[in-house]
């Protein structure tokens, strides 16, 4: 009943949704050149052969499945992968990082006609839905067309679980779209079963299998030359309210650590000018990467307000604090800096990565901090005590190495659906 009500309401919501998209476009949150994709109008033809559609909400989810995209393409030389996301930043990043035979499109808004146009054009042979986005019309259209589908790297927070339990028939029907659900943790698996998902298993978190973010060698050499000999730490993927925390850390440590450089990479690069202005108002010398500057000897803070360059700064900074963890956001992915040999710290709000942080902390591979006031002394400790820093880095390495084969387990479980969709290994194909 709720599914029919939702479909009916969204069927008449087209004008309101178009106005919403227009306002987002005016705010820079939609791509004006590709607005049609959000209404299900494809901007590219469908290639011949089997096509697997993967949907990931934004940057973090998309990055985590690039390794799965690569492995799918290796499995079948005639396969095309279609990856959809919903944000401008993720589209820009995927435009640079997707391999040949992988296509990016914006996910259509959840209107019945947009979902139908999208599926009529792309005709996916298999759908892999990543993590936890639930769009009733899209999932209903997939189910109505009997397209094989799986929920991969699934995550259902306790908050979402409590909300969905109020509508068990609705969520149960939506989860019934997926023949297989692969949960990140045992807790996620239990919640998915309780909500009505069918075949559920836990094979681990794909973020452990993701390759570290890349770095341009020439740019890395230039940065290393610019900061040579300086103590340096990084606040990664900062959110509003955390840039001031980084400034306070710098002010607390600068006298004890001559030449200290604090690097701030905002989660949303468009905040760069505002961050720089706020830090300069505190008397700090600031350089911005978006302006083409390298950090100079006089600069206290380097605001790296560009897209897709975290790999540079994880290779540059021995100590990294994860943003989104000192505000009620849920943190950012600590696996990437851990893979690249950084000593990782974070605040109390890491609930989006609870399973990962539990494993890191159990191995001594990360430092959780209960309060922003704890950040300065622990950054000092890790920058000045090489043995302590090495201990944290080694603990993280045991966790990332042990779990890097998650993608193999994912592919093993998905194998029957891949075969059904015609995504067969070269060796499995009949002779011509």
128 by DSSP, 3-state: which?
A: strand
Pair 168, 192: CB distance under 8 Å: no
**Active-site residue (options: 30, 37, 61, 131):** 61
* Beta-bridge partner residues of 180: 150, 199
> Residue 23 region, left (φ>0) first, then alpha (ψ -120 to 50), else beta?
alpha
Pair 211, 67: CB distance under 8 Å: yes
Q: Choose among 69, 100, 84: nearest CA to 423.
A: 69
Give Dmax (Cα) for the chain: 73
**Start-to-end CA span in the chain (Å):** 50
| 61 labelled catalytic | yes
Instruction: Tell me which residue has tokens 């639930």.
Output: 134
Pairwise CA distance, residues 332 & 325, whole Å: 7
Pairwise CA distance, residues 341 & 317, whole Å: 9
Q: What is the DSSP string of 337-354?
A: HHHTT-EEEE-S--GGGH
DSSP-derived letter for residue 166 is T
Instruction: Tell me which residue has tokens 């509508």.
Output: 167
Pairwise CA distance, residues 201 & 188, whole Å: 10
Q: Which residues are catalytic?
A: 61
């Amino acid at each position: 009943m709720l599914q029919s009500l939702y479909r009916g309401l969204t069927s008449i919501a087209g004008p309101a949704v178009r106005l919403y998209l227009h306002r987002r476009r005016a705010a820079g949150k939609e791509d004006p050149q590709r607005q049609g994709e959000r209404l299900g109008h494809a901007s590219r033809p469908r290639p011949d052969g089997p096509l697997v559609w993967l949907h990931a909400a934004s940057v973090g989810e998309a990055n985590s499945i690039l390794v799965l995209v690569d492995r799918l393409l290796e499995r079948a030389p005639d396969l095309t992968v279609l990856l959809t996301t919903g944000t401008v930043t993720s589209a820009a990043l995927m435009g640079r990082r997707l391999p040949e035979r992988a296509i990016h499109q914006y996910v259509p808004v959840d209107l019945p006609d947009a979902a139908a146009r999208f599926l009529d054009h792309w005709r996916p042979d298999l759908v892999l839905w990543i993590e936890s986005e639930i769009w009733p019309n899209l999932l209903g259209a997939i189910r109505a067309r009997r397209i094989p589908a799986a929920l991969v790297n699934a995550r259902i927070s306790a908050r979402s679980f409590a909300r969905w339990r109020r509508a068990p028939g609705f969520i149960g029907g939506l989860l019934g779209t997926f023949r297989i659900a692969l949960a990140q943790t045992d807790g996620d698996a239990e919640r998915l079963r309780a909500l009505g998902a069918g075949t559920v298993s836990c094979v681990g978190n794909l973020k452990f299998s993701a390759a570290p973010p890349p770095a341009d060698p020439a740019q890395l050499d230039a940065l290393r030359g610019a900061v040579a000999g300086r103590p340096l730490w990084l606040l990664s993927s900062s959110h509003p309210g955390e840039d001031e925390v980084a400034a306070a850390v710098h002010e607390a440590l600068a006298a004890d650590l001559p030449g200290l450089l604090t690097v701030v990479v905002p989660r949303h690069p468009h905040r760069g000018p505002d961050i720089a202005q706020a830090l300069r108002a505190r008397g700090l010398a600031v350089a911005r990467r978006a302006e083409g500057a390298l950090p100079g000897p006089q600069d206290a803070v380097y605001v790296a307000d560009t897209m897709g360059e975290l790999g540079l700064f994880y290779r540059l900074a021995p100590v990294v604090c994860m943003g989104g963890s000192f505000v009620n956001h849920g943190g950012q992915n600590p696996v990437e800096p851990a893979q690249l040999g950084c000593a990782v710290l974070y605040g109390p709000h890491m609930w989006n990565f609870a399973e990962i942080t539990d494993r890191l902390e159990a191995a001594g591979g990360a430092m959780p901090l209960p309060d922003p006031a704890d950040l300065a002394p622990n950054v000092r400790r890790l920058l000045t005590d090489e043995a302590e820093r090495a201990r944290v880095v080694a603990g993280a390495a045991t966790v990332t190495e042990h779990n890097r084969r998650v993608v193999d387990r994912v592919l093993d479980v998905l194998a029957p659906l891949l075969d059904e969709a015609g995504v067969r290994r070269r060796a499995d194909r009949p002779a011509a």
